[in-house]
Structure 1
């Protein structure tokens, strides 16, 4: 018989302003411990040296993680021009350098080629799996890693600042699976000067913004204190990108048992993915078909 996981049955989102130097998994573990939560996960990994929005899902909110992961995300990052590293960031070794430096106009012109549906090769030091092994593990072992290009939707890529000739600060808004380090590497190659990420911060992720994020220091300060619960956001926020349908208590009972049920909605089309709410509280996510919701995920809060 499986051992029951200890902790509180709490559901919702805690938005953490992740500090540099910690993995996303380590942050999730800190949040779970601080809240004494039974279950926690995150929506979208940040590199250990990256900072900013890490959305931590608690309890039933973990069922909404895919909808946040699939949403657009925004990053502010600085590219160090003139140097390529083996990790495409400052953590690695410099493997090539260049004295060439592009003008501001050159950079702005090059950015146009990185907008829309692009093909991106993830960094060799990344969590991408190759024949069942993580790419970073193979790279650390000295193996030559070949990673296939994959599509990435880039909504926008803008130049924010040029602090000096060696650095440029950019803002990227992109879809799921984007590697900022790859953008920096490829931009440097396009400009003929090489480049890598020297600073990276996620500003927002889907419906979650850095303005509502809690620092890890504050989470540790309030650990096991009921006051920390005030920073938990409703799980429904994770469904912000899906249309909502209202339901009656009778329909809610049917959905909670995994059965299709009638919903009250307008402007929905056959086959839409929808979430159903009773008095504003999420009951289920599913497919809308001819006035009924066929549930795929049910919330037990």
Structure 2
């Protein structure tokens, strides 16, 4: 198979346990691409759409990541994690679940543009090192 040189966009369904960079690296090797980038990092535990930009299309990254996004998830009440995800040690608390009206009210706080404080185990860099590397 010869090297793919045309620009393009590939929509990749990223699996849990794979970093965005690992997915891009595998794609580059399998398709023999000159250059590959992505339009936004997904958490290694997250699944979902990873927008991959091929060759000359990598310059479109700011436009590819500018659109609206939708997230889905599963919530468990009465459980805490030391890392804010399923990788940490879990501890249970005997707390009754909140009323549905309280949950709906709380969810409205996550609509639109929000300021988010990343957890200590995120990929955000602090003094040149990923926060999760410092925390673990």
Shorter chain as normaliser: what TM range? 0.7 to 0.9
Partner of 1:114: 110
Residue 47 of structure 1: how far off its partner (Å): 1.4
CA–CA separation in structure 1 for the residues paired with 2:6 and 2:88: 40
Q: Which runs of 5+ in 2 are unaligned?
A: none
CA–CA separation in structure 2 for the residues paired with 1:118 and 1:24: 23
Partner of 1:36: 32
Which stretches of structure 1, 4 residues or longer, exceed 4 Å deviation after superposition?
A: none
**Post-superposition CA distance 1:236-257 (Å, at most 9, x none):** xxxxxxxxxxxxxxxxxxxxxx
Higher strand share: 1
CA–CA separation in structure 2 for the residues paired with 1:44 and 1:29: 15
* 1:82 counterpart = 2:85: no
Partner of 1:27: 23
TM normalised by structure 1 equals 0.42
Partner of 1:242: none
Partner of 1:99: 95
Query: Residue 105 of structure 1 aligns to a residue in which SS?
Result: helix
Partner of 1:126: 122
The answer (yes or no) to whether the contact 1:10–1:38 under 8 Å persists in 2 is no
Mark the CA change 1:108 to 1:20 in structure 2 (over 3 Å): closer, same or farther: same
The answer (yes or no) to whether the contact 1:43–1:65 under 8 Å persists in 2 is yes
* 1:59 counterpart = 2:26: no
Mark the CA change 1:49 to 1:117 in structure 2 (over 3 Å): closer, same or farther: closer
Rg larger in structure: 1
TM normalised by structure 2 equals 0.88
Residue 94 of structure 1: how far off its partner (Å): 2.0
CA–CA separation in structure 1 for the residues paired with 2:112 and 2:40: 21
The partner residue of 2:13 within 11, 17, 35 is: 17
Query: Residue 54 of structure 1 aligns to a residue in which SS?
Result: strand
CA–CA separation in structure 2 for the residues paired with 1:117 and 1:41: 25
The answer (yes or no) to whether the contact 1:124–1:139 under 8 Å persists in 2 is yes
Q: How does 1:83-232 map to 2 (within 5 A)?
A: 83-94=79-90, 97-140=93-136
Q: What count of residue pairs does the alignment treat as equivalent?
A: 135
Higher relative contact order (CA 8 A, sep 6+): 1
Q: Which runs of 5+ in 1 are unaligned?
A: 1-5, 141-301
Residue 9 of structure 1: how far off its partner (Å): 1.5
| Aligned CA-pair RMSD | 1.9
CA–CA separation in structure 2 for the residues paired with 1:116 and 1:11: 32
CA–CA separation in structure 2 for the residues paired with 1:73 and 1:63: 20
